Amino acid sequence: MIKINNLCKNYGDIIALNSINVSLVDEKLTYLVGPNGSGKTTLIKSILGLIKISSGEIFVDKLRLNGNFSYREKIGYMPQVASFPENLTVEEVIELIKNIRSSITNLDDELINEFNLKKEFNKKIKALSGGTKQKLNAAIAFLFNPKILILDEPTAGLDPISSSLLKDKILKEKSKGKTILLTSHIISELEEVAEEIIFICDGLIFFSGEKNNLISSTGEKNLERAISKLMREKSENFSNGN
Ligand SMILES: Nc1ncnc2c1ncn2[C@@H]1O[C@H](COP(=O)(O)OP(=O)(O)OP(=O)(O)O)[C@@H](O)[C@H]1O
């Protein structure tokens, strides 16, 4: 469904993505993991067409991305930090986005209800707490029933109850056959939901495959320890100049 060939992205002298080749497995939940500054958000933004890639190809449902953004209708995106118009109310923001995507009618307002967002409907965005803004961000990502979900640090800033509600929703959508890509630094929190892992470091992909294969290849007992081991190895290699 999403296939990436030789993707490079430079920001001036910084090589954020260095000839990446990777595919997302359809109907699975892929966990994109790597240290700070490794290229995760750049990869996500490349798939979404939010940045201009330096070279390479990205295919979504066999369609090569070439400046036509209609494919984005298939994707629900939850950015790391949402930027909604500060002077609109929560309800106005939801209505605005519904109007923009008016062709999609089978809306999924489950998270709006689960997060009890209706009680915040009359508040302006600038008056929301960080966690409530994050709940709105999540609710909008799921609202249009997309077949692909891209979630950048989805549980960051959420209290434990809201975080569990969101994890349950992610699992529910996965069981319906959605393809999900998510990032998080809190590995233990999302270990249970992950099936496939992409490990990225310094713009290079060092592992892409099943979670259990990664754990067994490192000889560790869980994903958190396996990823920590990989990160330590990579940082030692870089400091040794390898
Ligand atoms: N707009 C930009 N201009 C210049 N450099 C950028 C820009 N965005 C990202 N970078 C650089 O690209 C590299 C990859 O950044 P990216 O945000 O993709 O990392 P990340 O893995 O998402 O990090 P984090 O886990 O901290 O969110 C970093 O070196 C970063 O400083």
> Would you say residue 178 lies in a domain?
no
> Would you say residue 129 lies in a domain?
yes
Closest residue by Cα to atom 8, ligand 1, is 42
Number of domains making up the chain: 1
Query: How would residue 233 be classed by pLDDT, with cut points 50, 70 and 90?
Result: confident
**Separation of CA 41 and ligand 1 centre (Å):** 7
Q: Which domain holds residue 103?
A: 76-145
Beta strands 2-11 and 55-60, pairing class:
antiparallel
Query: How would residue 40 be classed by pLDDT, with cut points 50, 70 and 90?
Result: very high
Nearest-angstrom CA–CA distance, 10 and 120? 41
- pLDDT value, residue 242: 57
**Separation of CA 37 and ligand 1 centre (Å):** 5
Closest residue by Cα to atom 5, ligand 1, is 11
> Would you say residue 131 lies in a domain?
yes
Beta strands 2-11 and 14-24, pairing class:
antiparallel
Crossing angle between the packed helical segments 223-239 and 211-218, to the nearest 10 degrees:
60
**pTM of this structure:** 0.92
| Helix (H), strand (E) at residue 107 | none
Phi, psi of 5 (to 5 degrees): -120, 125
Of 171, 120, 118, 121, residue with least CA distance to 142: 171
Hunting for tokens 């109310």 — which residue is that? 89
41 Cβ below 6 A of ligand 1: yes
93 Cβ below 6 A of ligand 1: no
**Separation of CA 56 and ligand 1 centre (Å):** 19
Q: Other C-beta atoms within 10 Å of 14: how many?
A: 11
Percent of the chain with pLDDT over 90: 76
Residues 64-70: contacts with CB under 8 Å, at least 24 apart = none
Atom of ligand 1 nearest to the CA of 80: 27
> Would you say residue 90 lies in a domain?
yes
42 Cβ below 6 A of ligand 1: yes
**Separation of CA 92 and ligand 1 centre (Å):** 32
Half-sphere exposure of 29 (CA within 13 A, CB side): 19
Q: Is the dihedral of CA 186, 187, 188, 194 positive or negative?
A: positive
Is it the case that residue 88 has pLDDT exceeding 90? Answer: yes
**Separation of CA 86 and ligand 1 centre (Å):** 25
Query: How would residue 192 be classed by pLDDT, with cut points 50, 70 and 90?
Result: confident
> Would you say residue 119 lies in a domain?
yes
**Separation of CA 192 and ligand 1 centre (Å):** 27
- pLDDT value, residue 70: 82
36 Cβ below 6 A of ligand 1: yes
112 burial (CB, 10 Å; 0-12 / 13-18 / 19+) is: buried
**Separation of CA 235 and ligand 1 centre (Å):** 17
> Would you say residue 34 lies in a domain?
no
Closest residue by Cα to atom 17, ligand 1, is 41
Of 240 and 125, more confident? 125
Tell me if 155 sits within 8 A of 163, measured CB to CB: yes
Of 133 and 72, more confident? 133
> Would you say residue 113 lies in a domain?
yes
- pLDDT value, residue 66: 82
Nearest-angstrom CA–CA distance, 53 and 230? 27
> Would you say residue 216 lies in a domain?
no
Reduce the DSSP state of residue 119 to 3 states and report it: helix
Nearest-angstrom CA–CA distance, 123 and 69? 32
Distances (CA, A) of 163 to 69, 132, 147, 236: 31, 12, 22, 34
Phi, psi of 123 (to 5 degrees): -80, 145
